[in-house]
Structure 1
Amino acid sequence: MEFLKSAVASAISKGPAFGFTLGDRVDLSDSIWTLHNGTKKDDGSKCSVFAFDINANKSRLPLAKNALRKWRTLRHPGVVRVLDTLETDTNIYVATERVVPLGWHVKRNALNTETIKWGLYTISSTMKFVNEDASSIHGNLRVSSIYTTESGEWKLAGFEVLSSLKEEDPAIFTYGGLLPDSSRYAAPEIGRGGWDGLKNQAVHVTDSWNMGTLIYEIFNGYATQDQLSQIKSIPAPIAAPYRRLTQANPKLRLPISHFLEQGKRAGSFFDTPLIRCCEFIENMGVKDEREREEFLQNLEETKDQFPEEFFKAKVLPELLKSVEYGGGGPKVFSVVLMIADKLSEDEWESTITPCIVRLFSSPDRAIRVFLLDNLPKMIDHLPGKIVSGSIFPQLVTGFSDVAPIVREQTVKSILIVINKLSDRQINGDLLKYLAKTQNDEQPGIRTNTTICLGKIAKNLGQHTRAKVLAAAFTRSLRDPFVHARNAALMALAATADVFDETDCATKCLPAICPTLIDKEKIIRTQAQKTFDVYMARIKTLTANMPDTALPPPNSADANGVAGGAAAPRMGTPQTDASWAGWAISSFTKTLSSVTGEMQTQPQPPSSGVSTPTQENGSNTLGLPSTASSSRPGSSRSASTTSNLHRQAVSSSSPNSTIRSKSGNLQIDDDDDDADYDAWGAMGDETPAEKPKFGSTGGGGGGFGKTSAANEDDMINSLLNKPKSALPKGLGKKTAGTTTTATAKSTAAANRARIGKKPVIAGRAVAPPKKKEPPPPAADVDADAAWGNDNWDADWK
């Protein structure tokens, strides 16, 4: 075997260039040719090479040359297709499509009846062309002259004595006897009168006889001419025409064209689903939509009757052409996927994958939806490089499609392709598109986006996972669509392990809590389950946390610094009973350490002599001067005068005494209600309601040095303060409120007494009068004590 290969290769190398390489030899009996599997040098595609050794078969060289000449010129779908030929001094080579001898299947009894009918139909159609259209005699119709292609089709070869009656010297008359085992297959008239006797016969006579012997040999195995009269395993529908094909009288012999016509009649032996399918496939491009749908339906119902090779190599290429260029649509492609299940991975990659890539770029929405629906059937056969590089860029265009069904199916398809995408595509482009669909106008798309994010959580990047999921799920919890909220809760429960204790406590739980009182029971129920999951998650995460983050008290260094930080002035509470003590001490420390705070309003001495003013601009009572009270950033300037006024009113109580030690003002007040009222007043005041007591050129409204020319205006403005400008709770509600006229009438009296008033920050202030007792409870409103009567009385 190796010697033969080397000899053949050496012969080819010595001759003209031949673009094919010979491979293994395929045993072939009853033929002058040796068949080899071959490959094309250019692209490595499969082929077959028929080789004839001239030195070993010089007597049959005319047969080989006649076959070579006829093979080159004869073009028909039922003839083995020739790719190239080469003729040298020692060999003749004919490169053809990849074929296998029909004798292999016949000897193994591997052909079912339907496949045999389909093959006989194909050979009959080809022989009709040879006899009628080409006006030729084949003369060598037998099992060894027929080959099967990869699609399972039967194709005709064996053209050693193919002759046209129009030729001057037909080869069949001269060389017919050189055929291997010629006497066994020769018609009776040839046995009686030789091959020259065919000159006076019709063109179909010898071929019709050989057609009959072919039918007998396929069903029963050929023996002798005497056995041809026995039907045996030949199907009954074929038995009657078979007898006419094998008539001993040539004039009564049925032409092959008539045999074909009888078989094609409705209900006859050639009227089978397989043959109808083959006929339709060859003419699918000119069929209308109704005929196409009917064909596809029949194909799905009868697919088990067809050989796998027929689907792979014959039906599949035609269906792919129809889908891409013939408008076959999703229905045709469904049959494509049905056939593709029987393909190997190499066949998938070479046949189906390129078509799928092209279809994803198609603008046809029906095709896109079908591809997305059937993506689970295809994804295992698609390499990751193809998915990420060719399919995904086309797939994401569906996120922006105007048709909601396309957007929804695109979201669902992400779960199928996610494992074949790169990290950059997942954490970049994909999340960008999912952010859009989470705000889609269709509630179903928003819901499916949330579900999709929950299921692809493990595929997201570690640095973006928690951030993206927290934002997406908490947003869905506010969705008005009940199923969107429910999906968010379930997604949060399923992805709880991706959040740390901080995210669980500060982001997730605060978003879950409002759903515990949702109007829908299904949301409340799921919210409780999700809440429990996160509580358990937090407990698990915090179980090993230390009791405190503060350094131990005995870890201070030589300088009294613990852990490199300044030691606190406050001691850490050691017992539960004293847990609030540090807060009170800290508050006292803050008040004493902050400078610029408003101090208590001093009371004038009983002698009525004004308090002198210090040269540095502050009074002897320690009150801030105009410069200090009016500096920018003072947050208490607007509320200073209100507090001073309340303190002045409180100081007029008999229970209050004033003691001065070392120039500092101290007040002992036994009236607990005064402090309570002050806290309440501070809490009630608002920035819009704080009274202003004049300006010192950019000050905050506090008391400062002013000229005597505007004292009247300032006093009148204080007395005539509109109700709306007073602090909250200080508006007059009783009938005894002082009017604007009354305030103006008292202005002169106030100015007359100005010399007897104490001086605060360089300005005289009227001493407070004794506070009038409140009217009886039955005659005064609940808020009358905070009205304008008391306010005006304090300033009179």
Structure 2
Amino acid sequence: MMGNENSQLSGLEVEEKAVEITDFWSQYQATIKDSCRYFSLKGDGSVSVFKGQAALGPLWAVSTPLEKFSNNLLKYRHPCIVRYISAWQQRSTLHLATEYVQPLSQVLTAQTPLQKCIGLNNILRALVFLHEQGGMSHNNVSVSAIYVTGDGQWKLGGLQYLCPFTELTSAYLKHARIHRYDKAVDPNEDSCELNSKIDQYGFAVLVEDVYKNNKDDEVPHLREFKRYCQELLQHRDPAHRPNLPIVLQHNFFNHEFITIYKFLNFLPLKTEEEKCQFFSNILENLKCYDEETVAKQLGGLLLSRLTMLDQTARKNVIPYILKPKNDRSQNEKNTGFFRLEIFKEHVKPRLMQLFGVRDSQIRFLLLSHFSKFVHVFSHDELSQHILPELLLGIKDTDDNLVSATLICLSELVPILGASTVIGGQRSKFFTDGRPNSKTTSDKLYEKETFPAKIPLRDLPCSEDTFNLDGIEQPVYMETFIERPSPVGGESIDDEILESAANKANSEEDWSDWDNTNHKLVLVESEDVNGLIPNTEHEQIHLNGSSMNASNNPLTKISSARSSLLQKAALEAKKNIVDISELDIKNQKIDSRKKSNEDFDFFADMKPVIEKPTVVDVAQNDLIQNFTSKLNFVPESHEDENEGWGESWND
């Protein structure tokens, strides 16, 4: 359950359940809506809010512990110190908003030995900054003063005891001792004249607490560094304790993994030759380490702006970081570096942040590899975070950026649907013109319809064809078209009819009116079987020479049939005096022909009307006459319509 707070941060919602409660404040997790999304790895505006009240003691007479903590965070800014966002007073409670962090004590057991090594390196760098650049002593180095960000980076906090070295006296340490970590307090602190080496003793205790459950061989040079801390950093005489910059030079903070981490952190200070050599071999060097550790500690640095803008990194590193894989194999080429599970947990949140960066080079790089990682996002993440950023890209003035964005939008259509990606109302303008498209799939249709390029003569047909013995068959392209195509087929028929009309010399040459579509006549004989043209005047081309069809013996076989068809056509033409007689309205109906050929569907509905007659006959005659009328069958010589009273055929 969350409540809306009246604060300087607009849209801040703070959770009611506290994450940690100390002597000075309570820590809560919160979210800033409609604001910057870079406070946390999750990219949802998560922040941390500390609420504190007044405390008793001589150190807090001027300001409360949380107020001193807030002022020191605002004054001393460093990548390894908790980032300050805002602070405000609400009634009697002070509120401090920082980047999203968790207490180290809550996540220490989940940290790997290499993560702990890098974390200690960050804390040591922060202490060096306070000592060397700020001239300040922390005085509270312990697990309780360290926080972990969303991407696994250790940050130094607990700055409420921070003071300059000039004010660091035995009295000050005595007043602060009541709330300090007892194990980190030097037993000889009161008797020592030199109090500037308090943090060295506390850092040695921190190393012991962090690695108390780990073996010495899990991290390179860990056993040596533990001995170094006991003998030098916890020396009875503070004068023999080395300065913190010297501690950074120990081999424990300079093995290969730490060297890679430091190089990425100080990338702007490196030369082009150093960066080229570094990014050419970095992936091979990281394959020997745990993937989750690499993702937590180096994932953000490998996808930082400086790394993504480097030419060597864009070629040798970024394509493999942005491509997840299911199984990791060192012999496999052109595969991703992180497994899919680790990619979703650690790399995906970074990608969501990068899509909000208004840098054309970074956007181009993300778009070029979009198809590799688009499947790792959920439906809501794509529709609510990625899609709005892509839609913003198509409005840019850079044509290349718009073109690349449109390609990525096409990747989202199968996932989100065209209505979500394009928006607006859509209509169906195209139809599927394939035959049997509803029941036949694409591949099956192509396989069955176009199995191979088969010659026309080898295709199966509905009728048997016969080759002429010893005679080369002519090819009639038009005659094989029984039905013209939907578009342009009418012109083919017109050309054929026009050619036939030009060859006709008299009225008798016209073909039958009732059989206008036949082009070939199949003729069977004892000697010759084949396809014979239907007209006597058509030229048959054989072996490059032409001869009249009337001289061809094949034509004589079908002359009898052709003459009968022509006579029937002439008789039909002679009976038609006027063209208007072809109209169905003007046609005359032969009642006799209709009665004989057409079936009368209303025969059973014709009424039988008889006039009543009074006849005195016997009962048997009446029954016989009544039965005979019901079973009336006209004689053969009588007209069947006689006796109905009127003619239904008139």
Corresponding residue for 2:137? 137
Query: What's the counterpart of residue 68 of structure 2?
Result: 66
Instruction: Identify if the C-alpha distance between structure 1 residues 419 and 279 changes in structure 2 by more than 3 Å, giving closer, same or farther.
Output: same
**Contact (CA 8 Å) 1:161, 1:172: kept in 2 or not?**
no
Distance, in Å, in 1 between the alignment partners of 2:338 and 2:222 is 31
Partner of 2:514: 567
The whole-number CA distance in structure 2 between the counterparts of 1:201 and 1:33 is: 32
Partner of 2:638: none
Contact 1:37 1:49 in 2 (8 A): yes
Matching of residues 49-448 of structure 1 within 5 Å? 49-54=49-54, 62-106=64-108, 108=109, 110-166=110-166, 172-173=172-173, 175-181=175-181, 183-190=182-189, 192-193=190-191, 200-203=193-196, 205-220=197-212, 235-261=223-249, 263=250, 268-285=251-268, 286-289=270-273, 291-303=275-287, 305=289, 308=292, 311=295, 315-316=299-300, 318-322=302-306, 324-327=308-311, 328-337=313-322, 338-339=337-338, 341=340, 342-344=342-344, 347=349, 350-351=352-353, 377-381=372-376, 419=414
- Give the superposition deviation at 1:30: 5.5
Tell me how far apart the structure 2 counterparts of residues 585 and 125 of structure 1 sit (CA, whole Å). Answer: 102
Provide closer, same or farther for how the CA distance between residues 23 and 272 of structure 1 changes in structure 2, counting only shifts above 3 A: farther
Deviation at 1:202, TM superposition (A): 4.4
Q: For residue 273 of structure 1, report the CA deviation from its aligned partner.
A: 2.6
Does structure 1 conserve the Cα–Cα contact (< 8 Å) formed by 2:200 and 2:244? yes
Task: Quickly say closer, same or farther: Cα 1:28–1:348, change in 2 above 3 A.
Answer: closer
- How many Å apart are 1:391 and its aligned residue? 9.4
State whether residues 127 and 244 of structure 2, in contact with CA within 8 Å, keep that contact through their aligned partners in structure 1: yes
- CA–CA separation in structure 2 for the residues paired with 1:585 and 1:78: 98
Q: For residue 105 of structure 2, what is the amino acid of its counterpart? A: G
TM-score, with length taken from structure 1: 0.45
Aligned-residue CA RMSD (Å)? 5.6
Q: CA 1:270–1:146 in structure 2 vs 1: closer, same or farther (change >3 Å)?
A: same
Q: Distance in 1 between matches of 2:33 and 2:16?
A: 16
Specify the alignment match of 1:20 in structure 2: 12
Matching residue's letter, 2:235: Q
Residue 113 of structure 2 aligns with an amino acid whose one-letter code is T
Query: Residues of 2 paired with 1:41 and 1:418: CA distance?
Result: 29
Query: How many angstroms does 1:211 deviate by?
Result: 0.9
Change in 2 beyond 3 A, CA 1:58/1:279: same
- Indicate if the aligned counterparts of 1:105 and 1:111 stay in contact, CA closer than 8 A: yes
Whether contact under 8 Å (2:151, 2:297) holds in the other structure is yes
- Cα deviation 1:33-77 (Å, max 9, x = unaligned): 221111123325011112213389999663333222212211111
After superposition, the Cα gap between the structure-2 partners of 1:274 and 1:57, relative to the gap in structure 1 and judged at 3 Å, is: farther
Structure-2 change in CA distance of 1:357 and 1:122 (3 Å):
closer
Q: Is the 8 A contact 2:8 2:88 kept in 1?
A: yes
Q: Secondary structure at the match of 1:22?
A: strand
Q: Find the structure with the greater CA-based Rg.
A: 1
- In the TM superposition, residue 419 of structure 1 has moved relative to its aligned partner by 4.9
Structure 2: distance between partners of 1:570 and 1:27: 91
**TM-score when scaled to structure 2?**
0.53
Partner of 1:39: 31
Distance in 2 of aligned mates of 1:26 and 1:117: 29
Q: Is the 8 A contact 1:241 1:259 kept in 2?
A: no
Q: Give me the whole-angstrom Cα distance separating, in 1, the residues matched to 2:70 and 2:159.
A: 8
Q: Secondary structure at the match of 1:36?
A: strand
What SS does the aligned partner of 2:258 have? helix
Kept after mapping to 2: 8 A contact 1:30/1:180? no
1:283 deviates by 2.5
Q: CA-to-partner distance for each residue in 1:92-119, whole Å, 9 max, x for gaps? A: 221111111111233x3x3332222211
State the one-letter code of the partner of 2:321: V
Q: CA deviation at 1:314?
A: 5.0
Describe the shift of the 1:37–1:171 C-alpha distance in structure 2 as closer, same or farther (beyond 3 A). farther
Other structure's SS at 1:147 match: strand
1:465 and 1:289 mapped to 2: Cα distance? 60
Q: Whose RCO is larger (CA < 8 A, sep 6+)?
A: 2
Q: Secondary structure at the match of 2:317?
A: helix
Give the letter for the 1:257 counterpart.
Answer: P
Query: Aligned in 2, Cα 1:347/1:24: closer, same or farther, shift over 3 Å?
Result: farther
Residues 55/125 of structure 1: CA separation in 2 closer, same or farther (3 Å cut): closer
Q: How far apart are 1:212 and its partner, in Å? A: 1.3
Distance in 2, matches of 1:91 and 1:391, equals: 44
Q: Distance in 2 between matches of 1:291 and 1:207?
A: 35
Whole-angstrom distance in 2 between the partners of 1:41 and 1:22: 11
CA shift for structure 1 position 85: 1.0
2:445 aligns to what?
497
Letter in 2 for 1:21: E
Q: Deviation of residue 127 (structure 1)?
A: 1.0
C-alpha distance after superposition, 1:284-335 (max 9, x if no partner)? 2444255334345234432563574763575435535246533332213124
What runs of 5+ residues in structure 1 fail to find an aligned partner? 223-232, 425-459, 467-492, 517-530, 540-547, 551-564, 592-671, 680-796
The one-letter amino acid of 1:377's match is K
Superposition deviation, residue 252 in structure 1: 2.4
CA distance in 1, matches of 2:169, 2:91: 25
The letter for the 2-side match of 1:334 is P
Match of 2:194, as an amino acid?
A: Q
- Distance 1:583-1:248 versus aligned 2 partners, 3 A rule: closer
CA drift at 1:178: 4.2
Q: Distance in 1 between matches of 2:83 and 2:73?
A: 9
Moved more, 244-253 or 96-105: 244-253
Cα deviations across residues 221-274 of structure 1 (Å, max 9, x unaligned)? 89xxxxxxxxxx96234322432111222222333232222x1xxxx1112233
Match runs of 1:441-590 below 5 Å: 463=432, 495=443, 497-498=445-446, 513=455, 567-568=514-515, 576-577=524-525, 586-587=534-535
Q: Tell me the amino acid that sits aligned with residue 567 of structure 1.
A: D
Report the structure, 1 or 2, having the larger helix content: 1
Instruction: Give, in whole Å, the separation in 1 of the partners of 2:283 and 2:120.
Output: 21
Range that drifts further, 168-177 or 143-152 = 168-177
Do the aligned partners of 2:73 and 2:159 also contact (CA within 8 Å) in 1? yes
Listed one character per residue, the Cα deviations across residues 525-563 of structure 1 (whole Å, up to 9, x for unaligned) are xxxxxx9xxx69x99xxxxxxxx999xxxxxxxxxxxxx
Q: Structure 1 residues 62 and 26, CA, compared in 2 at 3 Å: closer, same or farther?
A: closer
Using the TM superposition, give the Cα deviation of residue 377 of structure 1 relative to its aligned residue in structure 2, in angstroms: 2.8
In structure 1, C-alpha distance between the alignment counterparts of 2:64 and 2:531, rounded to whole Å: 120
- Output the CA distance in 1 between the equivalents of 2:376 and 2:49: 33
- Relative distance call for 1:185 and 1:513 in structure 2 (3 A) is same
Equivalent pairs counted in the alignment come to 436
